[in-house]
Amino acid sequence: MSPEELAAELRKLKEELCDIEDMHSFTFQKTSVHMGAEKADSMQVEFDEECREIKAKIERIEKALAAKGAL
Nearest Cα to Cα of residue 24 among 43, 37, 41 = 43
CA distance linking residue 62 with residue 9, whole number of Å: 10
Band (pLDDT 50/70/90 cuts) for residue 39 is confident
What is the rounded average pLDDT of the residues 4-20?
96
Q: What is the mean pLDDT of the chain?
A: 89
The pTM (predicted TM-score) of the whole model is 0.82
pLDDT of residue 53: 98
Q: Is residue 35 over pLDDT 80?
A: no
Nearest residue to 6 (alpha-carbon basis) of 58, 41, 54, 51: 58
